[in-house]
């Protein structure tokens, strides 16, 4: 039991030190290091997609596959819930 | 889930149209204001879940069947994928915005920079928002409805 406690303390210390150092090494908020993609989307989203909302144009146009995956996840969740509870209802 | 008191029913009757209109507004203006199909669909599904909680699952299941809601959800998914495939046919790639810049529906290009919003913009984005909104409304509400109804009938079967 003592060994497990010592191991837990060591793991906790390592993880805590890692978190503190990564928090200190973070670059300032709101200033991305590489902003090529952001600048491209901010400059061209109104001409290319015709939408004023840049987030929607990214979600449905530039990264449409991601939204397709989200829709698939929702569909799978609904199918699973209906399957489970229909079985419960019939019994 | 049985129905709640008359106070709760009256208040949810009053609040239901407003939250419904707000959610449909968020869906319809997804390409102009913050929000979109997922967020507006979640708002409308929350309004429907409020009605379900207030009036009970037995009353709600007489108004709309879960099979019909599944059909609506599949229609939303099919519309989304068909719009993406139409981009493959009329545009250059899967999910390409073939309506933007054309003279058809939603084809106007807005002026660069911030300004007054025009709802006749966005290409296929509003249509995709409608499809995803329909899918999220039906999907989230059918989850809540089926769970509520199944637990009710399960409790009655145990008695």
CB B120 within 8 Å of CB B28: no
Backbone angles phi, psi at B30, to 5 degrees: -65, -30
Structurally, chain A folds into a number of domains equal to 1
Structure tokens at B133: 């909104």
pLDDT for the residue A62: 87
ipTM: 0.82
The answer to whether residue A89 scores a pLDDT higher than 80 is no
For B107-154, give the secondary structure using H, E and C: CECCCCCCCCCCCCECCCHHHHHHHHHHHHHHHHHHHHHHHHHHHHHH
Mean pLDDT of chain B: 87
User: B116-153 pLDDT, tens per residue?
Assistant: 778 888 888 889 999 999 999 999 999 999 888 887 76
CB B126 within 8 Å of CB B30: yes
Q: Which residue has the higher pLDDT, B117 or B28?
A: B28
Residues of B in contact with A51 (CB under 8 A): 31-32, 110, 121-123, 125
pLDDT for the residue B149: 84
Q: How many angstroms separate the CA of residue B159 from the nearest CA in chain A?
A: 14
**CA–centroid distance for B76 within its chain:** 9
Q: Which domain holds residue A63?
A: 2-90
Structure tokens at B49: 């879940």
Q: How far apart are CA B16 and CA B76, in angstroms?
A: 23
Spell out a b/e string for B51-84, using b for 16 or more CB atoms within 10 Å of the CB, else e. Answer: bbbbbbbeebbeeeebeebbebbbebbebbeebb
Q: How far apart are CA B63 and CA B127, in angstroms?
A: 28
Burial of A27 (0-12, 13-18, 19+ CB in 10 A): exposed
CA dihedral of residues B60, B74, B90, B24 (deg, nearest 10): 20
Residues of A in contact with B142 (CB under 8 A): 78, 81-82
User: Mean per-residue pLDDT for B38-44?
Assistant: 93
User: A33-86 pLDDT, tens per residue?
Assistant: 788 888 888 888 888 888 888 888 888 888 888 989 999 999 999 999 888 887
Q: With CB atoms and an 8 Å threshold, state whether A46 touches B109.
A: yes
Give the contacts of B120 (CB within 8 A, at least 6 positions apart): B106, B107, B108
Q: With CB atoms and an 8 Å threshold, state whether B154 touches A88.
A: yes
């Amino acid at each position: 039991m003592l060994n497990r406690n010592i191991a837990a303390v060591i793991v906790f210390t390592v993880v805590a030190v890692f978190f503190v150092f990564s928090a200190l090494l973070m670059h300032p908020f709101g200033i991305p290091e590489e902003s090529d993609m952001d600048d491209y989307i901010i400059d061209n989203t109104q001409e290319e997609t015709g939408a004023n909302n840049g987030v929607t144009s990214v979600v449905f146009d530039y990264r449409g596959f991601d939204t397709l995956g989200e829709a698939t996840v929702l569909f799978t969740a609904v199918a699973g819930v209906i399957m489970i509870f229909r079985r419960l209802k019939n019994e | 889930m049985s129905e709640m008191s008359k106070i709760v029913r009256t208040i949810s009757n009053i609040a239901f149209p407003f939250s419904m209109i707000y959610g449909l507004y968020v869906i319809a203006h997804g390409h102009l204001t913050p929000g979109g199909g997922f967020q507006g669909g979640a708002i409308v599904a929350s309004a429907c879940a409020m009605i379900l909680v207030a009036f009970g699952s037995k009353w709600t299941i007489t108004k709309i069947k879960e099979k019909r809601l599944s059909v609506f959800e599949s229609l939303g998914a099919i519309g989304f994928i068909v719009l993406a495939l139409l981009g493959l046919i009329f545009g250059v790639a899967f999910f390409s915005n073939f309506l933007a810049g054309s003279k058809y529906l939603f084809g106007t290009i807005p002026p660069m920079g911030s300004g007054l919003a025009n709802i006749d913009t966005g290409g296929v984005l509003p249509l995709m928002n409608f499809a995803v909104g329909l899918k999220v409304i039906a999907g989230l509400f059918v989850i809540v409805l089926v769970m509520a109804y199944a637990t009710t009938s399960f409790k009655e079967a145990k008695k």
